[in-house]
Structure 1
Amino acid sequence: MRTRHRATAAALLVLALGATAVPPALASPRPAPSTPVADVPAPRLRLPAPSGPYAVGEDTLHLRDTGRADPYVPEAGARELLVSVFYPARAGTGARAPYMSTEEAELLLESRGLGGVAAPGAVAATETYARTGAAPARGRFPLVVLSPGFGQSRFTLTSLAADLASRGYVVAAVDHAHESVATVFPGGRVLPCAACAYVERVGDAGLAEVARGRAEDVSFLLDRLTGHHPAWRHAPMIDRGSIGMAGHSIGGDCAASTMAADRRVRAGVNMDGTFYDPVPAAGLKGRPFLMLGTEADHASGGTFDTTWDRDWKRLDGWKRWLTVAGAGHFTFTDLPLLGAELGIADPSAPLPAGRSGDITRDYVAAFFDLHLKGVPQRLLAGPTPGNPEVTFQAPAR
């Protein structure tokens, strides 16, 4: 069974952000070691522009679950979440939102051995097309929760979040305390990845605990977004009866774990995540689920990640298993997009970054359009000429 989140994560981040570890044939020119990064013009990085009809607003929420101690650092007290809420907004309102803070970008670069090589300001200033303080669009919209890969921050799912918001969704991208390496909490606190150290000690059983713990986080988040006294100022724009969830890697496993524990989540997506916490043998009570992954999830002559075959059989509602040719584990995040902006490619994932982004955004949006909005989707009925990379798998039930 595959463990995808460890060395692979570090390697892809190195490639995407232009580390010295990039093979010479792939590396773009950079200054000699004696030349400070600050003296070299930083590239202006951009994520793809959202494709929907709405402008995109963004707010940040800091939530504390006083009914539950942090599972990895109990002495820290209440479990904490940082949430970026993207929402359909009125055009021409608000101010440009940063991708992340400069401090978070610096922490990210330092954690990958890139301190002094890439400019934190350039990464932090990546154009996301979201606006802080933007006036909300009129109407009520489905809610989609996004959970990132293990050790990663919510920022790695920004392109998907902004695109869904532009198409008419409220999107809550979550950072789970002590589970990422580059998140700054209120007061300037940088919480260590205590969960990373825990998983290194106990192995895959610890990752199953991570998925179940995140499911508790998401249920708490839904309480705070849709309850009687919501934490978000624009909460009335959420359609409480139309809630979905998607995640990358362990976040995708968490989508299934959350659905198993919380009936409010009507539809889920796993983007290339091993099911460390298995789908219950009784299924998900008929609710739809999309598995979007790499060719390694369904390798010729046998399945590399055996949990996908196992849990595919347990899914008891509408379901699709889509394989993307040329994709790597991080294809479904922002990292290939940032790498392309820097002129750097990942040789282990030959799918062009633009196609990576298009496929991820279009298929995830089609899934939620079908199951949260009730709009038929040709894209999910079978192969389409415009997406030759996508194969519909049909393993035996």
Structure 2
Amino acid sequence: MKMWSNTPRHLPLPKGPFAPGCFDWMTDYGDSSTFVRLYYPTSLLNKLNDPTKWFGWSTHPEYIQGFANLTNIWGSVIRGIVWFYGVFSFTGEPLVPCMWQVPPAKRKMPVVVFSHGFGATRFISSNIATELASFGFLVASIEHKDTSAAATYYYENEESLKNDKRTWIRHVRMTFGPNHYTIRNTQIHRRLAE
């Protein structure tokens, strides 16, 4: 095994015949918008998956802080773990072996809708999504704004989008009690709407 390599650290490479691509899509402004990361096969063969177009696993430090809050671990510890796995990449975190914003293949694709679990995000299962995309699936990984995500955000309006002024929604810790069912039921209805 080589001690040093020019290859950036990355999640496991997808094994399907297609090079996967992806992009983020927010349907509208405000907290009622839907936020999804779409993973898809490109028209390129997997062996042409270009590492210069790969992207960092976590897209913003606020997500790392969200994971830290969720797990009751200091943010610096979580950042250290992410840094360790991506120490040789230009982002300082592991890269997703999926090409960012390249055109999708021009054909019909079976669709998989991925709904993250409690305390997760749209990118938490990037490895599974890129694997499915490399086999020809379109994967819609929704980031829920029902306070179950480690963190998520929206833009208030076009101006905030232009200035990348994000309004963050943080994870709300759930406790069992008289309001538990009502809160969960509201979350489920929100997820269905998304």
| TM-score under structure 2 length normalisation | 0.69
How far residue 101 of structure 1 moved from its aligned partner, in angstroms, is: 1.8
Name the CA distance, whole Å, in 1 between partners of 2:178 and 2:95: 38
1:182 and 2:151 are equivalent in the alignment: yes
How far residue 143 of structure 1 moved from its aligned partner, in angstroms, is: 1.6
Query: Which residues in structure 2 correspond to 1:80-99 (within 5 Å)?
Result: 80-89=33-42, 90=44, 91-92=48-49, 95-99=53-57
Name the CA distance, whole Å, in 2 between partners of 1:100 and 1:83: 15
1:46–1:128 contact (8 Å) kept in structure 2 = yes
- Aligned AA for 2:34? L
Aligned to 1:213: 190
For residue 116 of structure 1, the aligned residue among 73, 76, 92 is 76
Aligned to 1:103: 61
How far residue 206 of structure 1 moved from its aligned partner, in angstroms, is: 2.9
Name the CA distance, whole Å, in 2 between partners of 1:172 and 1:139: 17
Q: Deviations over 1:111-139 (max 9, x none)?
A: 13232224366267223211112232232
Residues matched between the structures, number? 162
Secondary structure of the residue aligned to 1:108 is helix
Question: Could you list the runs of 5+ residues in structure 1 that have no partner in the other structure?
Answer: 1-43, 66-76, 218-397
| TM-score under structure 1 length normalisation | 0.36
More helix by share: 1
2:13–2:97 contact (8 Å) kept in structure 1 = yes
1:58–1:97 contact (8 Å) kept in structure 2 = no
How far residue 49 of structure 1 moved from its aligned partner, in angstroms, is: 1.8
2:49–2:98 contact (8 Å) kept in structure 1 = no
For residue 150 of structure 1, the aligned residue among 114, 118, 142 is 118
Query: Looking at both structures, which has the greater relative contact order when contacts are Cα pairs under 8 Å and sequence separation is at least 6?
Result: 2
Secondary structure of the residue aligned to 1:80 is coil
Flag the 1:181–1:216 CA change in 2: closer, same or farther, 3 A: same
How far residue 92 of structure 1 moved from its aligned partner, in angstroms, is: 4.5
How far residue 78 of structure 1 moved from its aligned partner, in angstroms, is: 4.9
Question: Could you list the runs of 5+ residues in structure 2 that have no partner in the other structure?
Answer: 1-7, 86-91, 156-164
For residue 32 of structure 2, the aligned residue among 79, 95, 109 is 79
Flag the 1:205–1:188 CA change in 2: closer, same or farther, 3 A: closer
- Aligned AA for 2:185? A
For residue 49 of structure 1, the aligned residue among 2, 10, 13 is 13
1:84–1:172 contact (8 Å) kept in structure 2 = yes
Aligned to 1:131: 99
Runs of 4 or more off by more than 4 Å in structure 1? 196-201
- Aligned AA for 1:191? I
Query: Which residues in structure 2 correspond to 1:1-397 (within 5 Å)?
Result: 46-64=10-28, 78-89=31-42, 90=44, 91-92=48-49, 95-111=53-69, 112=71, 113-119=73-79, 122=83, 125-177=93-145, 178-186=147-155, 187-194=165-172, 196=173, 202-217=179-194
Name the CA distance, whole Å, in 1 between partners of 2:116 and 2:77: 26
How far residue 205 of structure 1 moved from its aligned partner, in angstroms, is: 4.4
Aligned to 1:72: none
Superposed CA RMSD? 2.8
Name the CA distance, whole Å, in 1 between partners of 2:101 and 2:93: 18
Name the CA distance, whole Å, in 2 between partners of 1:58 and 1:79: 23
Percent identity between matched residues is 22
1:104–1:184 contact (8 Å) kept in structure 2 = no
Flag the 1:48–1:100 CA change in 2: closer, same or farther, 3 A: same
Name the CA distance, whole Å, in 2 between partners of 1:54 and 1:86: 12
Name the CA distance, whole Å, in 2 between partners of 1:82 and 1:131: 19
1:198–1:206 contact (8 Å) kept in structure 2 = no
Flag the 1:193–1:80 CA change in 2: closer, same or farther, 3 A: farther
